[in-house]
Amino acid sequence: MKKKSIAILPGDGVGPEVIKQAIKVLDAISDFADIEFDYQYGDIGGKALDRHNTPLPKETLQLCTSCDAVLLGAIGDPKWDSGPADKRPERGLLGLRKELGLFANLRPARVFSALENASTLKKEIISGVDILIVRELTGGLYFGTPAEDQGDKAYNTMVYTQKEVDRIADIAFAAAAMRRQKLTSVDKANVLLVSQLWRRRVKQISQTHPNITMNHMYVDNCAMQLVRNPGQFDVILTGNLFGDILSDEASMLTGSLGMLPSASLGESRALYEPVHGSAPDIAGQNKANPIAMIASVAMMFRYSFKMKNCATRIENAINRVLTEGLRTVDIADSNTTAVSTEQMGTAIAEKCL
């Protein structure tokens, strides 16, 4: 029997509720694939501030570095919104990414056929859309120095090194090879010097992947094309700022943020979490959509555990449940009846057996 240790970080808001459903699915897969999971729980974000006066306790970091993978529910608590920078829940997630060396964020945006009417775009535009955005996570404008707010003047610095571009490009080309072998690199090379470096390096690396069809696209055009013709994209490779914006835009193709999982990968560590936030307005009401969290578990099997059969089984279970008409409130319409977080999680877990 295989054994895998998983650090479970429920976090804030609806995090504990969706994590509970992920555990149901893991238990079902455990029976199917003859795997024994060791769940080890830790605090992060607002919950950690309440209990430890820090958003990322040393005990949590040690736990995450000792496990095979990390599952995170959600970060954010209104109680701490007005606190000092180092006492904000989000600092826990940023710190964890840094300490684990997580430089690649993978966000799939897949439109399930049963949910084509849930999107704000026409059915014929989003039918069959399946995009993977590969976003560089630790460089660019968010982390460049110098950066300062001087009151009447403020500035940030966008910086990328050749090494940073090369390693995220390697991840993206490898992902494209596992999919439809098409990659779009997004930049602003007509204006930004840092994007010119980005484009040179991606073009150079593409020469070692002759089976991958690669094209370059300016970020403003990409934002337009995601709405105009999203089906043209397979893998989108881009930097931290552009990836942050484009991945949120792509998420709405699916009809709800509650449908989108993510994986943050490093050289030897990985963290999996839903794209949605802590949703404090519905926390504790058994309304949250657990599908993004459960789909993040599928990504864990695909990228950390290299067990594609288990990942596919979970994804098929999600599709079957949606096809049968089950919906949480965020994706329900006049022709369907909304079910609870618990009911959706149980239904998907049963399909995994």
Q: How far apart are CA 267 and CA 140, in angstroms?
A: 19
Q: How far apart are CA 272 and CA 193, in angstroms?
A: 33
Q: Give the C-alpha distances (Å, rounded to integers) separating 166 from 36, 67, 180, 312, 323.
A: 36, 27, 21, 29, 40
Tell me if residue 142 is catalytic. Answer: yes
- 157 and 58 inside one domain: no
Pick the catalytic residue from 39, 50, 142, 218: 142
Three-state secondary-structure class, residue 3 = strand
* Residue 112 forms part of a structural domain: no
| End residue of a domain, out of 220, 236, 254 | 254
Tokens of 336: 């369907």
Query: Strand 2-11 vs strand 35-41: parallel, antiparallel, or unpaired?
Result: parallel
Q: How far apart are CA 69 and CA 305, in angstroms?
A: 9
Calculate mean pLDDT across residues 193-208.
Answer: 98
Q: How confident is the model at residue 43 (pLDDT cuts 50, 70, 90)?
A: very high
- 22 and 99 inside one domain: yes
Nearest to 285 by CA among 214, 342, 201, 207: 342
- Domain span at residue 244 reads 120-254
- 51 and 81 inside one domain: yes
Nearest to 288 by CA among 134, 74, 81: 74
- 316 and 281 inside one domain: yes
Q: Give the C-alpha distances (Å, rounded to integers) separating 323 from 292, 316, 318.
A: 17, 10, 9
Pick the catalytic residue from 244, 287, 330, 351: 244
| End residue of a domain, out of 204, 226, 254 | 254
Q: How far apart are CA 131 and CA 128, in angstroms?
A: 10
List the CATH number of the domain containing 217. Answer: 3.40.718.10
Pick the catalytic residue from 220, 281, 308, 333: 220
pLDDT, residue 333, reads: 83
Tell me if residue 188 is catalytic. Answer: yes
* Residue 113 forms part of a structural domain: no
Three-state secondary-structure class, residue 155 = strand
Q: How confident is the model at residue 86 (pLDDT cuts 50, 70, 90)?
A: confident
32 has a pLDDT exceeding 90: no
Cβ–Cβ < 8 Å for 192, 161 = no
- 137 and 218 inside one domain: yes
Q: How far apart are CA 31 and CA 18, in angstroms?
A: 21
% of the chain at pLDDT higher than 90? 87
Nearby residues of 334 by Cβ (< 8 Å), 6 or more positions away: none
Tell me if residue 220 is catalytic. Answer: yes
Looking from the CA of 18 toward its CB, the CA atoms found within 13 Å total 37
* Residue 345 forms part of a structural domain: yes
What's the number of domains the chain is made of? Answer: 2
- 262 and 250 inside one domain: no
- 128 and 236 inside one domain: yes
Pick the catalytic residue from 68, 130, 170, 248: 248
pLDDT, residue 17, reads: 98
Element (H, E) at 252: none
Looking from the CA of 265 toward its CB, the CA atoms found within 13 Å total 24
**Burial label, 208 (beta-carbon count in 10 A; 0-12, 13-18, 19+):** exposed
Element (H, E) at 234: none
Amino acid identity, position 162: Q
Pick the catalytic residue from 188, 234, 287, 303: 188
- 248 and 126 inside one domain: yes
Calculate mean pLDDT across residues 109-115.
Answer: 91
Question: What average pLDDT is seen over the chain?
Answer: 95
* Residue 111 forms part of a structural domain: no
Neighbours of 155 (CB within 10 A): 9
CA 309 from centroid of its chain's CA atoms:
20
- 203 and 309 inside one domain: no
Tell me if residue 281 is catalytic. Answer: no
| End residue of a domain, out of 187, 220, 254 | 254
- 149 and 215 inside one domain: yes
Q: Give the C-alpha distances (Å, rounded to integers) separating 343 from 29, 231, 261, 349.
A: 18, 32, 19, 10
Please name every residue paired with 186 in a beta bridge, in sequence order, or none if there are none.
217
Instruction: Report yes or no on whether pTM surpasses 0.75.
Output: yes
256 has a pLDDT exceeding 90: no
- 223 and 262 inside one domain: no
